[in-house]
Amino acid sequence: MPNHTAAVQDYLKTMQLLEWDRGAPVATQELAERLGVSPASATNMLKRLASLGLLDHEPYRGATLTPAGRKVALEVIRHHRLLETYLAEALGVPWDRVHDEAEVLEHVLSEDLEDRIAALLGEPEADPHGHPIPSKDGRLPRLSARRLWDLAEGEVVSVQRVSDHEAAALRFLASAGIKPGAMVAIVGRGPLAGPLFVRVEDVPDEVHALSKDLAEAVWVA
């Protein structure tokens, strides 16, 4: 049952992340894009994973994780987020670099090391970007469903989490003080997909303009 290759783990993990933010079923192209792989390769793997009972693949209409597949995905995500937290806390790896390191380590972390790391960190419930860490039995806290981008002018909210697969974006957000726990106020927005203007409470004299991409990568409570 275990013993999945790194590629299999990556596909399942990405399936779960996409189901969370685009909803199921997941389109082949979306998946391929996220994984940096051609759509044909993704189809190929989807067929393999379906035949292993890890997901259901309705040809031409997308795929959905089965409970077995979701279990594997959550284990990988747990590894990833524990590692991010550990690297930041224990080794001082900066915010914008923990993701890439964790990306490779997640596939080789043994059960024993996982437990040691989790214990050492005090069984943390969120990684440095605010993403919840699944528990060993695969449960995880309810997530807020609002993006910073979707707020109206005048709202004041607390940052819950920020997307982590764009190091450059993370660096900018960090420099602006936009990180989990920070309070942010919407002070205005440009036309259509124009920038969103926000003020961070700790630095009240600066206003930051966020592109749509950036404002969609920040989730609030």
Interface residue list for DNA (CB under 7 A): 5-8, 10, 27-30, 36-48, 57, 59-62
Which range, of 8-16, 50-58, 114-122, 159-167, touches a second copy by CB under 8 A?
114-122
Smallest distance, a second copy to C-beta of residue 180, A: 23
Phi, psi of 79 (to 5 degrees): -55, -50
Residue 101: C-alpha distances to residues 7, 72, 164 (Å): 16, 20, 12
- Position 108 contacts a second copy (CB under 8 A): yes
| DSSP string for 150-172 | GPPTT-EEEEEEE--S-HHHHHH
- Position 101 contacts a second copy (CB under 8 A): yes
Smallest distance, a second copy to C-beta of residue 83, A: 11
Instruction: Determine the Cα–Cα distance for residues 8 and 46; give it in Å rounded to an integer.
Output: 10
**Omega of the bond prior to 128 within 30 degrees of 0, cis?**
no
Smallest distance, DNA to C-beta of residue 36, A: 7
Identify which of residues 107 and 212 has a Cβ nearer to DNA in the complex.
Answer: 107
Q: What burial class does residue 65 get, using C-beta atoms within 10 Å of its C-beta: 0-12 exposed, 13-18 middle, 19+ buried?
A: buried
Instruction: Determine the Cα–Cα distance for residues 158 and 182; give it in Å rounded to an integer.
Output: 6
72 binds, among DNA, a second copy, none (CB under 5 to 8 A by kind): none
How many residues touch a second copy under the rule CB under 8 A: the total is 17
Identify which of residues 36 and 154 has a Cβ nearer to DNA in the complex.
Answer: 36
Identify which of residues 94 and 194 has a Cβ nearer to a second copy in the complex.
Answer: 94
Going by C-beta distance under 8 Å and a sequence separation of 6 or more, which residues neighbour residue 174?
95, 96
- Position 111 contacts a second copy (CB under 8 A): no
Identify which of residues 110 and 175 has a Cβ nearer to a second copy in the complex.
Answer: 110
Q: What burial class does residue 89 get, using C-beta atoms within 10 Å of its C-beta: 0-12 exposed, 13-18 middle, 19+ buried?
A: middle
Identify which of residues 76 and 117 has a Cβ nearer to a second copy in the complex.
Answer: 117
List contacts with a second copy (CB under 8 A).
Answer: 87, 90-93, 97, 101, 104-105, 107-108, 110, 112-113, 116-117, 120
